[in-house]
Amino acid sequence: MRYGRLTQTAWQRSVRRQLHKRGEDALFAPSPWENVSGLAGRDGDAFLWADACASGSSARTGYYAVLKAAGDLAAKGVCPSCVSVRILFPPGAEEEELREITAGVEDACSRMAMQVTSLQGETVCAAGQMIVSVTAAGRSEMQETGLNQPKAFVQEQQEKLHAAPEQEIVYCGYAGLEGMLRVLDEAREELGTRFVSIFLEQAAGLTRELVTPEQILSLFKDSDAQPRVTAVCQAGSGGILAALWELSEILHTGLETDMQAISIRQETVEICEFYRLNPYQMASAGSFLIVTEDAQAVIEILEKAGARAGRLGVTKAQNARVITSGEEIRYLDRPAPDELALWQAGRHGQMAAK
CA-angle at 302, arms to 152 and 329, nearest 5°: 95
Choosing from 119, 148, 177, the residue where a domain stops is: 148
- pLDDT for 238 beyond 90: yes
What DSSP string describes 5-24? SPPHHHHHHHTGGG-----S
Residues 58 and 180: beta-carbon distance below 8 Å: no
Q: What confidence tens digit (pLDDT) does each residue in 199-220 have?
A: 999 999 999 999 999 999 999 8
Average pLDDT of the segment spanning 167-178: 97
Which of 10-14, 266-270, 318-322 has the largest mean confidence? 266-270
Cα dihedral 96, 99, 104, 107 sign: negative
Residues 34 and 59: beta-carbon distance below 8 Å: no
In this structure, the answer to whether residues 190 and 133 fall within a common structural domain is no
Choosing from 86, 118, 148, the residue where a domain stops is: 148
Choosing from 88, 114, 148, the residue where a domain stops is: 148
Tell me whether strands 115-123 and 82-89 are parallel, antiparallel or unpaired.
parallel
- pLDDT for 13 beyond 50: yes
pTM of the model: 0.90
Average pLDDT of the segment spanning 134-149: 67
Question: Binning pLDDT at 50, 70 and 90, where does residue 152 land?
Answer: low
Q: What is the dihedral of CA 121, 127, 128, 129, to 10 degrees?
A: -20
Average pLDDT of the segment spanning 169-198: 97
In this structure, the answer to whether residues 100 and 184 fall within a common structural domain is no
1 belongs to a structural domain: no
Average pLDDT of the segment spanning 131-147: 75
pLDDT at 160: 59
- Whole domain around residue 278: which residue ranges? 162-353
Question: Binning pLDDT at 50, 70 and 90, where does residue 162 land?
Answer: low
Percentage of the residues of the chain whose pLDDT score is greater than 90: 69
- pLDDT for 352 beyond 50: no
Average pLDDT of the segment spanning 218-225: 76
CA dist 247 and 138 (Å) reads 23
Q: What confidence tens digit (pLDDT) does each residue in 292-323 have?
A: 999 999 999 999 999 999 999 999 988 899 99
Q: What is the CATH number of the domain that holds 47?
A: 3.30.1330.10
Phi, psi of 35 (to 5 degrees): -105, -5
Tell me whether strands 82-89 and 254-258 are parallel, antiparallel or unpaired.
unpaired
182 or 143: whose pLDDT is higher? 182
Phi, psi of 7 (to 5 degrees): -70, 155
Helix axis angle, 61-74 to 95-111, nearest 10°: 30
196 belongs to a structural domain: yes
Residues 80 and 138: beta-carbon distance below 8 Å: yes
Q: What confidence tens digit (pLDDT) does each residue in 63-89 have?
A: 999 999 999 999 999 999 999 999 999
- pLDDT for 223 beyond 80: no
- In angstroms, the Cα distances linking 180 to 116, 209, 274, 309 are 26, 12, 11, 19
CA dist 309 and 299 (Å) reads 6
Look at residues 260, 255, 280 and name the one whose alpha carbon lies nearest to residue 327. 260
Task: Indicate the average pLDDT of the chain.
Answer: 89
Total domains in the fold of the chain:
2
Query: Which residue intervals of 112-212 are DSSP H helices?
Result: 142-145, 150-161, 177-191, 197-204
292 or 4: whose pLDDT is higher? 292
- pLDDT for 143 beyond 50: no
